[in-house]
Structure 1
Amino acid sequence: MDIAPTAVAQVARTARDHGLEAMVTTECHDLARTFPAGEFDLVSAQYFHTPYDLPRDVILRSAARALRPGGRLLVVDHGSIAPWSWNQDSDARFPSPDEVYAELGLPPSGWAVERAATPRREATGPDGLTAMVTDHVLLVRRVG
């Protein structure tokens, strides 16, 4: 799911090209208003940052509730600012994986943290410039 129809179409096309269309569901949603119906094995939120007023914590809690037992929620966030980023705010703050987990408010008896890490990687910007950046990764599994 994505708010951008172009992104949703690209995922659907890639799934079809690889013979996975029966295993991949794509939907366009403004998650501040609607969330897909059903239960899921995996919900992945990649770089879910926005300068707009969006209830990120509420959306991520909805994603966690939508997981079936054994399902996983993967949240990957920026942990640093790349030199080519449009946002060079020195006061920019990126929540740590532990802070994201705390924001979810999940009962410990029903959830297992499988990964909470801050890996560094080399990224390439639009003009070919490379830099080391940090990601924040949280992977939780619904127990049951």
Structure 2
Amino acid sequence: MSRTVDIELTVNGESFAETVEPRLLLSDFLRETLGLTGTHVGCEHGICGACTVRVNGVSARSCLMFAVQADGATVETVESLGTVSSLHRIQEAFRKHHALQCGFCTPGFLMTVKDLLERHPLTTNADIRDGLSGNICRCTGYDHIVKAVRELANERDGVAS
């Protein structure tokens, strides 16, 4: 018999109180319990970055975190960004610069970029590449992703492109 734990957390601005098994991964909780399937699960080892979400304002691998660890936390998933009819600025930059192809890694990249823009200077393209190094894309070759992030960092810093 498996014991359960009651948790309360805020996901994308909405409060949830759920009963979960202690071993339930945050990625599975988001996808299966809450139906937020934008968080993708790739490697299940924290290497690929496809499952990246933000927990209390900091990017985290949801495949390496148990849902019970998010008790009391604020979680942001890719669904917290824009909609199809009203893209978030990060999504718009990715579209503009063709910074996605198959799209599997894109949610993790978007959440990582949001974290980078809020918490890191990104002075050079090397800074951007370093910040993105925990996310794997098998399609784009990264150049377009770096261009999108460079544009966003320049906007944030008031630098003309």
TM-score, normalised on structure 2?
Answer: 0.25
* TM-score normalised according to structure 1 size: 0.27
